Amino acid sequence: MIWRVWLLERVIATAVISEKESEAEAYASLEELKSLVTTAGGTVMATTVQNRPTPDVSTYVGKGKADEIEGLVEEWEADVVVVNGELSPRQGQSLAARTSARVIDRTQLILDIFADRARTKEGRIQVELAQLTYLLPRLRGQGHALSRLGGGIGTRGPGETKLETDRRHIQKRMDELKKELRRIRKHRSTLRKQKERQNHPQFTLVGYTNAGKTTLLNALTNEEALAEDLLFATLDPLTRALRLPSGLSVRISDTVGFIRGLPTTLIAAFRATLEEVSEADVLIHIIDATSPEAETEKQTVMELLDELGAGDIPVITVMNKAENLEEDGVPTVNAGRPRLYASAREKQNIDDLQTVMEDELIKQMSFYSISIPAGDGRRLYEIRHSTIVREETFDEANELYKLQGYAFDHHPQIAAERKTDKKEDHR
């Protein structure tokens, strides 16, 4: 069951700034936490920060800070305390015992948003599996905490009846979910192989959450997929067809946005969805050019790509939201080439991006020259739509179309033509 919050809940946000991170990084992360709360259907009434070498092993924050948090809860009549970190079972239970509000951490908040935004069957299964994986070691004390809830931030997903059952039942449910995911993955694999036989290259949009991936997808394909100014507006993978300037038909997929501190359980559970990333021919990395944290966000994305086994896939970097940049406000981002500035919302430089997309594919292709009889319209159509045609002429005397361009080595018709040419050369 998925709970929905219709009234904004009052939230107290708290963070520990450890000696491992700078003040700037910590406060940027805290601002991100506030955006996550807004996305989840809450409003941050107050924030509190504590500097200490490491979080307290018992209550995460010190006991004095815990008392301050309870004072803020009473002052603002807050419903939820959100900690900008991951609480151990002991820390969560101890901190919850010292306040009348629900206590959740950043991981649980992100899982909560995913539970609310998953639309497909696969997405819902992956969310529930991630939540159960996260909650399993935290079952002690959850029964009392959930018995006083009526739904809200941090409670969407499995529901209290599942969480109050014993570990064996929860483990059984997790096994069922994994079995269903394997079935879905097998089906997805079959569909993917069918698409591969169509010789349509795969582009995948990646980037930090709210960088503008879905808006760029809409600009490229002239479609109207949901694009909201919220974190994790897109959760379930979305694939669209696109015709590049040469006539080549490609597939382009949108994916869930990355974020710093993305829960490990979530990465593991969503690995099937993120296969769209690891199996792409080219990645298009969208960066919010207006973000003061653009370099950090880029680095977060690159690290997660490595973790997904996609670190060696060619990348096109798009500095998005360029329409909002001041002349002297261009961020310093250490991104490789090709790189271009664009505005997905204003559809600026979209044509340039499509040209770069073709150029990146050509680097993976080989040159071909082929002649096709004028009467073989089907074959001519397939070559025009499954390769990058650079030159096409018509030989009236022999009634042949002569095409030159670039194709993948595994393209069946081009490969067959090359094999025939080699045989003739050998003779």
Q: Are residues 358 and 211 located together in one domain of the fold?
A: yes
**DSSP secondary structure letter of residue 336:** P
191 is an annotated ligand-binding site residue = no
Query: Is the pLDDT score of 150 beyond 50?
Result: no
Q: Is residue 167 part of a domain?
A: no
Q: Are residues 231 and 380 located together in one domain of the fold?
A: no
289 is an annotated ligand-binding site residue = no
Q: What is the mean predicted confidence (pLDDT) over 158-177?
A: 72
Q: Is residue 95 part of a domain?
A: yes
* 102-111 residue pLDDT tens: 999 998 898 8
186 is an annotated ligand-binding site residue = no
Q: Is residue 300 part of a domain?
A: yes
For the ranges 28-32, 67-71, 419-423, the one whose mean pLDDT is highest: 67-71
Spatial strand order in the sheet of 366-373: 366-373, 400-407, 388-395
Q: Are residues 227 and 337 located together in one domain of the fold?
A: yes
* 218-234 residue pLDDT tens: 999 987 755 555 555 55
Is the bond preceding 338 in cis, omega lying within 30 degrees of 0?
A: yes
Determine the distance from the C-alpha atom of residue 257 to the mean position of all C-alpha atoms in its chain, rounded to a whole number. 3
Q: Is residue 80 part of a domain?
A: yes
Query: Is the pLDDT score of 152 beyond 70?
Result: no
Q: State residue 1's pLDDT score.
A: 33
Q: Are residues 112 and 45 located together in one domain of the fold?
A: yes
Q: Are residues 358 and 382 located together in one domain of the fold?
A: no
> CA 338 to CA 355: how far, in whole Å?
11
311 is an annotated ligand-binding site residue = no
C-alpha distances out from residue 357 to 90, 198, 245, 283, 407, Å? 50, 19, 10, 10, 14
Top pLDDT among 74 and 137 is at: 74
The phi and psi torsions of 224 (rounded to 5 degrees) equal -130, 60
The phi and psi torsions of 359 (rounded to 5 degrees) equal -60, -40
Q: Are residues 236 and 327 located together in one domain of the fold?
A: yes
Specify the number of domains making up the chain. 3
DSSP assignment of 229-261:
SSTT---S-EEEEEE-TTS-EEEEEE-PPB-TT
The structure tokens listed for 273 are 């969805």
Categorize the per-residue pLDDT at 322 as very low, low, confident or very high, splitting at 50, 70 and 90: confident
Domain end: 308, 329, 362, which one?
Answer: 362
CATH code, domain carrying 32: 3.40.50.11060
Domain end: 343, 362, 381, which one?
Answer: 362
329 is an annotated ligand-binding site residue = no
| Span of 9-18, 298-307, 330-339, 352-361 with lowest mean pLDDT | 330-339
Model-level pTM? 0.80
Categorize the per-residue pLDDT at 286 as very low, low, confident or very high, splitting at 50, 70 and 90: very high
> CA 204 to CA 260: how far, in whole Å?
20
162 is an annotated ligand-binding site residue = no
Q: Is residue 26 part of a domain?
A: yes
Query: Is the pLDDT score of 98 beyond 60?
Result: yes
254 is an annotated ligand-binding site residue = yes
* 247-267 residue pLDDT tens: 999 999 888 778 887 766 667
212 is an annotated ligand-binding site residue = yes
Rg (CA), the chain: 26
344 is an annotated ligand-binding site residue = yes
**DSSP secondary structure letter of residue 83:** E
209 is an annotated ligand-binding site residue = yes
Q: What is the mean predicted confidence (pLDDT) over 151-178?
A: 69
256 is an annotated ligand-binding site residue = yes
CATH code, domain carrying 321: 3.40.50.300
The structure tokens listed for 210 are 């709210």
Q: Which domain holds residue 386?
A: 366-426
343 is an annotated ligand-binding site residue = yes
312 is an annotated ligand-binding site residue = no
Q: Is residue 133 part of a domain?
A: no
> CA 427 to CA 419: how far, in whole Å?
13
255 is an annotated ligand-binding site residue = yes
Q: Are residues 330 and 295 located together in one domain of the fold?
A: yes
